[in-house]
Every structure is written in C-alpha cells, then in structure tokens.
Structure 1
Amino acid sequence: MKKLLVLVAVVAFLASCGKGDRGMVVGAKGKKWHPEKPYGMTLVPGGAFIMGKSDDDIAATRNAPTKTVTVPSYYMDETEITNAEYRQFVHWTRDSLFRTNLAIMADDNGATPGDNGIGEFAFLDAEGAGNDPLTPWEQYVQDNYVGLGPTGYEGRKLNHDVDLIWDTEDIPDEFYAEVYDQMYIPFDEAYNGERTIDTEKIIFTYTSLDLNAAARNRDPNKTRKDFISQVP
C-alpha cells in the first residue's frame, strides 16, 4: 500500500510539472505564413560581391578601393534580362545599322559583289549582285512594298553572308572606311583618345499591340492598326 501511495505521489508530481502556470487559454496553434510572390515577378536571392579594381578603369589609375557589397533579396520583373543579354541585343542593333549603312553606300556608288570592296555588302536585290532570281512571291513583295518608308530602303534584303569588318587594318576601301567612321563619336568628343560607338545612332523600333483595347473596341471606324503603337 505504501508503494502504491508513493507511485501516485510521483505521478501527480510529474503531471503538475508538465502543465506550468500558463493556464488553459494558451491560444490556437498558428499556421506557417509564406509571402505571396507578386504577379509577374521573380525572387532574386541575396548575396555579396567585391566592388573595386575589377571595374572598368578607363583612366588606368588603378586606385579604385575594393569593398564587399551585400545585396538583400528582392523581387524583379520576370522579363528582365542579364547584362550579357542586353549587350548581345545592342550588338545586334549595332550590326544591323552598320550593315544597312554599308548596303546604302554600296547602292549609292553602284558597287556590287566581286569588286573586293564595299560592294560585297550590297543589297541582295542590287543589279549585278549575281544572286538567285526572286520567287514570284518575293518579286511581288518587292514591287509593292519595298521602299514604302522614309528612307526608301525599307524592305530590301541585306547580305548577312559576309562578315562585318571591325579591325581598321582590314577595311577594304574608302567607302567602307567612311561608313565605319560615321559609326563612332567624333575625335574631339573622345575621352583619353578612345572613340566609342555613337549610341545616339543605335536606334531600334519597338512595336506593341493592345489586345485588350482591340477586343473591347466597338467603333467600326477603327481598324487593327489603331491599336498598334510603335516607338520611336
């Protein structure tokens, strides 16, 4: 009997230790909260990088102090691109502009492929270019749509089979040199003797269609082109 009383006392003691003094109203157990990702955004995790001497040092002073920069996590637009992707886009725009200007210069001077000069970059439909004859559809498009723009060269096909020449030692003739020179800022605007591409000449066109406005349209006088915007 004595052992039974001791056992009951021990159990009662242990039970009293587990309850504490919080009482019975301790609140319902909450759920874990996860922040909702904003629509069209993606999470960029935080991190750190070293900023300093690895940056461009145009003046060659090599005195940029180094420091570690910590960047917290943040959300950014899913359509954002990397610096490398943007640089690739700029190069595409630059090359397209350069190739177009070369073709126009060749057209103005009557140069055609085979002269080992700027004629190698002539429009594919230039006389004497020696290209395959146009298909009936290509001929129709050329007769009805080519040149319907401010410059008169819109729609003409460029020759992408010839590589552009960026090394001044390999420039084939003075016409190519003139177009090449016009791509860069003037000498009197160059910093430290280094001429860079004139960014004001790198112009691209962005076209968008407002599908929602077009779907809601009830005006019979408006056509699809009224909902297409172009910049610039």
Structure 2
Amino acid sequence: MQFLEPHDAPYTYLAWSIDLRTTGPFVRKSTTRDGARASLLEIANDLRKHEDVEVVRVLETTFVPPMKGIPQYDLVLLVRAQGDYRPRILERTNDAGLPEPSLAATVNNAGLFGDTDAFDGPFMLNHFAGTTDPNAAVDAWKSVSRWYMDKLDVDNSTLLRFGAGEDWIIVNYARIPAPVPMFLIGQLFRPSFYRNVRAQLSEVGMDAFPIFTRRVSA
C-alpha cells in the first residue's frame, strides 16, 4: 500500500438535506431532489470551465445506515480548486434557488492513496467526529485503511480534513468495490473489523458516520 502526496488545492464541501426519505436504509426517489440535482449539475458544468478548478463532483445519497448521528445529506457538491471557491459557489447556489446547505466548508486533502475519481461506482463519505485532534485522526485513517485494502479491496481514499469548530474532524471519500449491502456485510461480519477498525477508532476517541452515494452527471 502506497500513500501518495495529497493534493495541494483545497476542496469545497457543500452538502444539502433536500428531501431525504428512506425505505429502510435505501433513499427514496424525490422530484424535489431531482430539481435541486439539475441545478447543481448546471453549476458544476459551469465550474469545470474555470482553469483553476481541478475536480467537480455531484453526489447523490443512495444508502443511509440506520445509526444515530448519521448526517442527513442527500446531495453533495465537491469541488477541488486553487483558492477558496466556497463564497462564489454559495452565491451561485443561492441564485439558483437552492436552500442553504446543511454543511459548507473549505477542507484540505490530508491523505491520499489510489485515485478515487478514476472510475465510477458506489462512493462512501465516511464522516468522523469525536474528541481527538486532526493529526491523530489522520494517523488512525492510515492504519484502518490498510485493513480495508487487505480485507475488502478498497484501493483508494481521499481524506478531507476539516478546520477547528466544524461538525466533523475528517471525511473519508472513497470508492468502494462492491454494492453497498455486500460491502457492509463484508465489513460487519468480520471479527477483525471490531478488533482492528472499531478498536482503533475507540482508542483515539472517534466515531464513524458513513453515507453512501452515487456520482451523477448531466
């Protein structure tokens, strides 16, 4: 496993709770969300025309584990660009009639392996909260990432580190190699998951709150 040099450009992370309704853990279709998604896609296509914008991704949540504290986001916009694009993106989304996002943050890429955006597939946004400091959180991510690669063939991760006072310490943005239910079964039914992953997170005082998404395009 080879960790790569993180991207130097920051990410803008915007997340909305437009109309999140579920049947079990599966997110139901919504015409309200369809309209918001169309507006986000138009904004995303405009952003891609800027020379200093490197990556733009619109993600729609498909699966929300039934856990207390899980973020209720159903649309996410990720933009990696030179400079802080958050103010101008917020202005664009406001002009488009989108509600205020539940989360609007400029975050740094604190860790990287593989290429999360190289292929399509289910994408996990695993949000971590707790009492640990960001450096310890990054170290814990590196350690548990080895387990995910060895046991579940997760060959990529883009780690996003939040600033002080934000709701989250880090978010692991990763493409998973199997449908979400199969991925979760492969994780939760392995005793080593509890010995290694859960134990290490508990040791540093950090809890995980994942949602699963699909990438959408025009």
- The bucket for the TM-score relative to the shorter chain is under 0.3
The structure in which a higher percent of residues are helix is 1
The structure in which a higher percent of residues are strand is 2
For CA contacts below 8 A with separation 6 or more, give which structure has more relative contact order: 2
Question: Higher Cα Rg: structure 1 or 2?
Answer: 1
